[in-house]
């Protein structure tokens, strides 16, 4: 919820044993953010598989349903997407290709960079 000064208040619930580590990470992030221009956008490193699963669950799709949507979106692809392909992407056993990232971003209404590690 935006505050009157243009800032946003964020609350986190973390296990007690990780509170100190989280505090240090946030402080480091804020120091980095202050050193960047106002136009800069920060995309932290993400675990592509975990991000994919999170976006899929947010969209209330099963792995099978997502694989069917991928199949339709990537009609000419060599891979005929099955539920196991989505499972392998989520578990990190299978890399998400650039084409798949573009399709996933469109299907899941997400930024493509979430699915492209190191981009």
Residue 35 domain flag = no
Residue 33 domain flag = no
Residue 79 domain flag = yes
Residue 26 domain flag = no
Structural domain range at position 53: 48-115
> Which among 58, 28, 54 is positioned nearest to 42, based on CA atoms?
28
CATH of the domain at 108: 1.10.260.40
The 8-class DSSP code of residue 58 comes to: H
Count of structural domains, the chain? 1
Residue 38 domain flag = no
pLDDT tens track for 1-21 = 455 566 666 676 777 887 787
Residue 6 domain flag = no
pTM, 2 dp: 0.60
Question: According to the model, what pLDDT value does residue 23 have?
Answer: 80
């Amino acid at each position: 919820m935006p505050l009157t000064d243009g800032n946003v208040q964020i609350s986190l619930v973390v296990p007690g044993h990780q509170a100190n580590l989280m505090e240090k990470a946030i402080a480091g992030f804020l120091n980095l953010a202050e050193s960047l221009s106002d136009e800069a956008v920060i995309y932290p490193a993400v675990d592509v598989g975990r991000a994919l699963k999170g976006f899929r669950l947010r969209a209330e799709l099963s792995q099978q349903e997502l694989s069917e949507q991928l199949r339709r979106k990537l009609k000419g692809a060599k891979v005929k997407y099955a539920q196991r392909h989505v499972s392998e992407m989520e578990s990190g056993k299978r890399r998400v290709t650039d084409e798949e990232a573009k399709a996933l971003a469109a299907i899941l209404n997400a930024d493509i960079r979430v699915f492209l590690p190191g981009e």
